[in-house]
């Protein structure tokens, strides 16, 4: 594009004098049909250097850009517009196919085949008995998109190479010209990567987020953009008892809602929520038993399955508190059993 240097091409056009016209014409025609919209607009503005017929030659040599209404409209409405008959011919020229178009189509085809081959090699590497991380990163890099770069960052994190992970992370905005919502999604992703690094460097896990980390994770899960949203939600669902549902709204007219005998009370719900989590003094279990069930039990075990406490439940809905002042720090499981149904969660005590 633009002789491989758009900035230099623009400077040549902007600093040209009438005496440079033929040399510059030869240069621009030589770089055609790969001139950019920016260069063609700058060229069309130099009517003090290029007569209309020379400008017409340069524009007609770049029909791919002429297909864009933006350039034709500019040529019609600029301060010294091209004659109407030239505009009409250029519009006809824009309907043709140049070797640039053919090359772009071939490049797209080869890139698709290359990407398929790269993913085949990546799957083979990952399924090997020993994963070659260097080779894996090489083929991810061959794919050449931001998703692949995020996977490369994940391999660095897996190897505790935090410097390499951060270097690549910080390069993403410039590499992919991120802006708007893409940049907002990147910021959320960057926050989650930094969280993973902090946990690894401090010997903590996702069950041990501090108050700021927890608040940031909740904010991304509720209001974020991109892949970071799902990572944040997974952490909250797995470690902190959060639940994120994506149930579709059903229209009122569907047959399901019109069936006779449908009774929502027949659906069996069982719920249990623990708070605070993490805890160090006490925890409270808010519970709800299935319909028509009035008795149940809450069991607390350590991570190895050893029973630590049994708390009877004698009402369909309520709360039970548990004193944890003398419980050793660690991760525990709680299970609510009632009416043949169970509900399980994790509790952190520190």
Q: What are phi and psi of 330, to 5 degrees?
A: 160, -170
What pLDDT was estimated at residue 248? Answer: 59
In a domain, 102, yes or no: no
d(CA 265, CA 107): 60
Token pair, residue 100, equals 């640039």
Same domain assignment for residues 89 and 158: no
- Pairwise CA distance, residues 237 & 176, whole Å: 32
Whether 45 contacts 75, CB under 8 Å: no
Same domain, yes or no: 273 and 185: no
Does residue 286 share a domain with residue 241? no
The domain in which residue 309 lies consists of 268-349
Q: What is the pLDDT of residue 267?
A: 46
Do residue 67 and residue 149 come from a single domain? no
Distance (Å, whole) CA 300 – CA 319: 15
Tell whether 6 is covered by a domain: yes
Inter-residue contact 25 to 58 (CB < 8 Å): yes
Q: For residue 101, what are the CA distances in angstroms to 64, 69, 112, 171?
A: 7, 17, 17, 31
Of 36, 62, 96, the one marking the end of a domain is 96
Strand order in the sheet with 307-313: 307-313, 296-302, 330-338, 341-349
Burial track 38-75 (b if 16+ CB lie within 10 A, e otherwise)? ebbbbbbbbeebbeeebbbebbbbbbbbbeeeebbebb
Please identify, among 39, 67, 96, the residue that sits at the C-terminal boundary of a domain. Answer: 96
In a domain, 107, yes or no: no
**Token pair for 226:** 């991109």
pTM over 0.95: no
Asked whether 349 and 278 are in contact (CB, 8 A), the reply is yes
Query: Is residue 161 domain-shared with residue 238, that is, in the same domain?
Result: yes
Peptide bond before 278: cis, by omega within 30 degrees of 0?
A: yes
Residue 131, in any domain of the structure? no
177 and 211 belong to one structural domain: yes
**What are the structure tokens assigned to 78, written together?**
């600029």
The answer to whether position 129 is within a domain reads no
Are 205 and 288 found together in one domain? no
In this structure, the answer to whether residues 227 and 276 fall within a common structural domain is: no
Residue 179 lies in a domain: yes
Give residue 203's pLDDT: 92
Q: Strands (DSSP E) along the chain, which ranges?
A: 271-275, 282-288, 296-302, 307-313, 317-323, 330-338, 341-349
The verdict on residue 238 lying in a domain is yes
In tens digits, what is the pLDDT along the chain, a chain of 350 residues?
999 999 999 999 999 998 888 899 999 999 988 999 999 999 999 988 888 878 888 998 888 888 888 888 888 888 888 888 788 888 877 776 665 666 777 788 888 888 888 889 988 888 888 888 899 999 999 888 899 999 999 999 999 999 999 999 999 999 999 998 999 999 999 999 999 999 999 999 999 998 899 989 999 998 899 999 999 999 999 888 888 876 655 555 555 555 555 444 444 578 898 888 888 888 888 888 887 888 999 999 988 888 999 999 988 888 888 888 889 988 899 999 998 888 888 899 98
Q: Are residues 210 and 283 in the same domain?
A: no
d(CA 295, CA 205) in angstroms, rounded, equals: 36
pLDDT for the residue 247: 63
CATH number of residue 283's parent domain = 2.60.40.1930
**Statement to judge: residues 149 and 239 lie in one domain:** yes
* The last residue of a domain, from among 96, 124, 156: 96
On whether residue 341 sits in a domain, the answer given is: yes
Task: Assess whether 176 and 241 both reside in one domain.
Answer: yes
User: Are 215 and 304 members of one domain?
Assistant: no
What is the domain count for the chain?
Answer: 3
pLDDT at 264: 47
């Amino acid at each position: 594009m633009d002789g491989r240097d758009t900035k230099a091409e623009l400077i040549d056009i902007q600093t040209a004098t009438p005496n440079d016209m033929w040399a510059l014409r030869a240069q621009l025609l030589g770089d055609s049909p790969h001139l950019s919209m920016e260069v063609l607009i700058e060229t069309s503005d130099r009517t003090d250097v290029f007569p209309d017929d020379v400008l017409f030659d340069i524009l007609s040599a770049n029909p791919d850009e002429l297909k864009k209404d933006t350039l034709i409209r500019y040529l019609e409405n600029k301060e010294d517009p091209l004659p109407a008959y030239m505009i009409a011919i250029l519009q006809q020229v824009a309907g043709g196919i140049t070797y640039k178009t053919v090359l772009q189509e071939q490049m797209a085809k080869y890139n698709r085949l290359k990407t398929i081959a790269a993913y085949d090699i990546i799957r083979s590497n990952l399924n090997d008995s020993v994963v070659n991380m260097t080779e894996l990163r090489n083929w991810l890099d061959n794919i050449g998109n931001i998703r692949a770069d995020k996977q490369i960052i994940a391999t660095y994190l897996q190897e505790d190479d935090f410097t390499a992970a951060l270097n690549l992370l910080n390069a993403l905005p410039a590499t992919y010209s991120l802006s708007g919502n893409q940049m907002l999604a990147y910021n959320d992703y960057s926050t989650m990567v930094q969280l993973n690094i902090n946990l690894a460097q401090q010997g903590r896990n996702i069950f041990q987020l501090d108050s700021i980390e927890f608040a940031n994770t909740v904010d991304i899960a509720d209001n974020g953009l991109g892949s970071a949203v799902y990572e944040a939600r997974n952490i909250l669902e797995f470690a902190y008892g959060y639940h994120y549902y994506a149930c579709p709204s059903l229209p009122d007219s569907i047959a399901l809602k019109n069936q006779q005998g449908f009774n929502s009370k027949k659906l069996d719900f069982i719920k249990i929520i623990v708070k605070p989590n993490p805890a160090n003094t006490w925890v409270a279990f808010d519970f709800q038993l299935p319909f028509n069930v009035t008795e149940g039990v809450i069991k607390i075990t350590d991570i190895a399955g050893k029973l630590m406490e049994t708390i009877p439940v004698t009402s369909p809905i309520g709360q039970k508190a548990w004193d944890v002042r003398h419980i050793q720090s660690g991760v525990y499981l709680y299970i609510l059993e009632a009416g043949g149904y169970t509900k399980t969660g994790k509790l952190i005590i520190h």
